[in-house]
Amino acid sequence: MKTLSSSPWIGPVLALAGGAILAFGLPVLVGDQAYLLRLATQLALLVTLAIAWNLVGGFTGYPSFATAAFFGLGAYAIAVAQQAGWPAWSGFLLAAVLSALLAAPFGFAILRLRGHYFAIASLMLVTILKEVTTGWSDLTGGGMGINLPGAGGNPTAIATVALETMVILAAAALALSMIVAKGRLGFGLACIRMNETAAMGAGIDAPRLKTIAFTLSAAICGLAGATYARWIGYIDPSDVYDVMWSVRPIIAALIGGVGTVFGPVVGSIVYIAFEELMWRNLLTFGTGALGVLIALLVLLLPAGIIPGILRRRAS
C-alpha cells in the first residue's frame, strides 16, 4: 500500500487547495491596500509564466523566448472575443485553444532546432505576431490598441477578480508542473534534456513529447495573457508582445532553479522583490541596476537558489 506522501496526486492537490485558499484569502487579508493587491497579482502572473516556461526551458532544456507571443495572443483573443460580445469564459477558452493551436505546429517545426537557433526562432514568433496584430487593425485596432468592454467597472472588484483568477491559474500551473514532473511525460522530457539522441535510441518519441510540452506551456501563457487583459482593461501590441514578458519568466526560473518544480515560484518571488526595490529606490537607473543584479546572480549562483540549497544540504 502506498503511503500518503508518495502518492503522485498529493502534491498537485495541495497546490490547488493552497491556491484556492490564497486566491480568496489574499483579497480579505490585503483589503483596501490596492497597491499590494496589484503587486500580488503581478507576482502570481510571473509565477504562472515562469512555470509555463519551465516546462519547455527547464524540463526539456529548450530555451524558448516565445512566452510573450502566446501571452499577447491570449490577451488579444479575449479582447477581440469580448468586443464581439462573447461571454468571458469563452474568451478564456479561445485564448487557450488559439495559443495551443498555434503552438503545436510551430513548436513541432522549430523544436528540431537546438540551443541558440531554437531561442532565436522562438523569439521571432513574438516579432511576427506583434506586427501581424498591429497590421490587422480591422480586427485588433492596430497601433491604437483595444479596450476591453467592462473595463470601466468598479476597479476594486476588477482587481480582486484578477488576483483570484491569476492565483488560481498559478496554482493550476504548479499542479500541472508537478504532475508532469512525476509522470511519464516528465521522465521523457528529462531524457531528452540529458541526451536527446540517446533518448530517441531508447524509443522515446522526442518530437511528440517536446511538442506536447511546448503546447501545454503555450496554453498556460495564453490564459495568463487573457487574465492580464481583463485586469488591465486596455492593451496595445507593444505592451502585450513586449519581449520582457519572455525574459522575466526566464530570469525568475534561473534565480530559483531551472528544471525544478518550485524553482520558478521561489525565483519569481525573489525577482519581484528585487525589481520592486530597484524601481522604488533608483529613479533613472532601475533597468541598469536590474542588469547588475541579473549578472551577479548568473555569475555567483548559476544553478539557482533551490539546487544551491539542495547541494549544500547534500554536502
Partner 1 sequence: MLLGGLSATALAPGFAFGQATNEIRIGAPLPLTGPLAPEGRKQKRGYDLWAAQVTKDGGVDVGGRKLPVRIIYSDYQSATPRGVQACEFLVNQEKAHFLFSPFGSGAAKAGSAIAERYKIPMIAPTASSVEVYDQGFKYLFGTFTPNSTLTEPLAKLVTEKAPDVKKVAIFSRNDLLPLSLANEMRKSSAARNLSVVYDEKFAIGTLDFAAALTQMRAAAPDWVFVGGYINDLVQVRSQMRDLGMKPKVLTMIAGPAYEEYIQALKGAAENVSSAAWWHPSVRYEGEDLFRSTANYVEVFKAAYNGDTPDYAEASASSAGAILQLALKKAGTLEGPAVRDALASLNVRTFWGPVHFGATGQIDSLTPPVFQIQEGKAVVLVPDEIKRGEFRFGIA
Partner 2 sequence: MSASLLAQVLANGLLLGGLYAAVAAGFSLVWGVLNVVNMLHGSAIVLGSYAAWFASARFGVNPFLSAIVVGPAIGLLGWAVQRFVIQRVITAPVLITLVLTFALDLILNNGMINAFSADYRKVPPVTGAILTFGPIGLPLDRVLAAVAGVVVTLAVHAYLNNSRLGRAIVAVRMDRETSMLMGVKVEHIYAVTFGLGLALAGIAGCLMAVVFPISPLNSSGYLGIAFVACVLGGLGSIVGAIVGGIVLGVVESFGAIFVGPEYSVTVAAVLLIAMLLLRPQGLLGRAGYE
User: Does 148 help bind partner 1 (rule: CB under 8 A)?
Assistant: no
Integer CA distances (angstroms), 308 to 35, 143, 182, 297, 314, in order: 33, 45, 21, 12, 10
Instruction: Give me the 155-174 binding string for partner 1, x by CB under 8 A, dash otherwise.
Output: xx----------x--xx--x
x/- mask, partner 1, residues 250-279, rule CB under 8 A, reads: ---------------xx-xx--xx--x--x
User: From the list 142, 207, 307, 308, which residue makes contact with partner 1 (rule: CB under 8 A)?
Assistant: 142
Query: By C-beta, is 144 or 292 nearer to partner 2?
Result: 292
Q: For partner 1, give the closer residue by CB, 55 or 162.
A: 162
CB of 104 to partner 1, least distance (A): 28
Query: How many of the other CB atoms lie within 10 Å of CB of 101?
Result: 15
CB 215 within 8 A of CB 103: yes
Distance between CA atoms of 278 and 290, rounded to whole angstroms? 7
Residue 113 or residue 289: which is nearer to partner 1 going by CB? 289
The DSSP secondary structure of 34-80, one letter per residue, reads: HHHHHHHHHHHHHHHHHHHHIIIIIII------HHHHHHHHHHHHHH
- φ, ψ of residue 68 in degrees (nearest 5): -65, -30
List, in sequence order, every residue forming a beta bridge with 147; answer none if it has no partner. 234
* Footprint on residues 285-304 left by partner 1 (CB under 8 A): 286-288
280: exposed, middle or buried (Cβ count in 10 Å: 0-12, 13-18, 19+):
exposed
At residue 93, what is the residue type?
Answer: L
3-state secondary structure of 8: coil
Q: Which residues bind to partner 2, rule: CB under 8 A?
A: 57, 61, 63, 109-110, 112-117, 119-121, 123-125, 127-128, 131-132, 134-135, 243, 247, 250-251, 254, 258, 284-288, 290-295, 298-299, 302
- H or E segment at 190? helix 184-194
Q: Which residues in this chain contact partner 1 in the complex, by CB under 8 A?
A: 15, 18-19, 22, 25-26, 29-30, 33-36, 38-40, 42-44, 47, 131, 134-135, 142-145, 151-152, 155-156, 167, 170-171, 174, 232-234, 236, 238-239, 242, 244, 265-266, 268-269, 272-273, 276, 279-280, 283-284, 286-288
